[in-house]
């Protein structure tokens, strides 16, 4: 009987810790909406150095209509890796004129420490759940709109 209570206490502590982390994590980001082609995503915005470095590391999942939008100060060939990621994602690089310039689909956590970068410069990057690019027929050249909430 005591072992059962211990197990319940441990499971409860894990669930509370997980929920607390997710709430803390998402509360620290600005939010916005990104539309690529016909797909619309509610996004967390990463724009400070700390946010850009952390990204989605440690987050357990994304809903199909959500993502993270990275805003860099200047255009460059920004590389991404899957350090501390828990699920696969599609990565979409976007240039200054808000057009998709490169896509890497279904990047899994197991690829770490490999890095992925576009062949040309980008100013923005959108990370969404793996499969979103194919499902929504997102392609290089698509126009992107972005609004900050």
Q: pLDDT at residue 10 above 60? A: no
Omega cis (within 30) before 113: yes
Q: What percent of the chain has pLDDT over 70?
A: 82
Contact 77, 125 (CB under 8 A): no
Both tokens of residue 146?
Answer: 């972005």
Both tokens of residue 26?
Answer: 């998402």
Q: What is the mean pLDDT of the chain?
A: 86
Q: pLDDT at residue 90 above 60? A: yes
Count of positions (residues) in the chain: 149
Q: How much is the pLDDT for 7? A: 52
Reduced to 3 states (helix: H, G, I; strand: E, B; else coil), residue 10 is helix
Backbone angles phi, psi at 17, to 5 degrees: -65, -45
| Residue 14 parent element (H or E) | helix 2-27
- Map out the domains of the chain with their CATH numbers: 30-148 (2.60.120.1140)
User: Per mean pLDDT, which range of 20-24, 73-77, 103-107 is the poorest?
Assistant: 20-24
Q: How much is the pLDDT for 4? A: 63
pLDDT per residue over 35-50, tens digit each?
A: 998 899 999 999 999 8
CA 131/CA 91 separation, integer angstroms:
11
pLDDT band of 101, cuts 50, 70, 90 = very high
CA 126/CA 100 separation, integer angstroms:
10
Contact 86, 60 (CB under 8 A): yes
* Residue given tokens 């016909």 in the structure block: 38
């Amino acid at each position: 009987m005591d072992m059962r209570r211990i197990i319940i206490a441990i499971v409860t502590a894990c669930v509370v810790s997980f929920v607390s982390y997710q709430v803390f994590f998402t509360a620290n980001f600005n939010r916005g909406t990104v539309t690529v082609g016909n797909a619309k995503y509610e996004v967390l915005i990463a724009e400070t150095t700390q946010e850009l470095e952390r990204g989605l590391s440690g987050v357990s999942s994304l809903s199909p209509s959500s993502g993270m939008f990275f805003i860099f100060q200047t255009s460059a060939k920004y590389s991404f890796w899957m350090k501390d990621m828990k699920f696969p994602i599609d990565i979409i690089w976007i240039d200054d004129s808000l057009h998709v310039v490169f896509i890497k689909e279904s990047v899994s956590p197991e690829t770490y420490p490999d890095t992925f970068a576009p062949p040309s410069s980008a100013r923005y990057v959108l990370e969404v759940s793996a499969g979103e690019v194919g499902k929504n027929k997102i392609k290089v050249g698509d126009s992107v709109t972005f609004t900050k909430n």
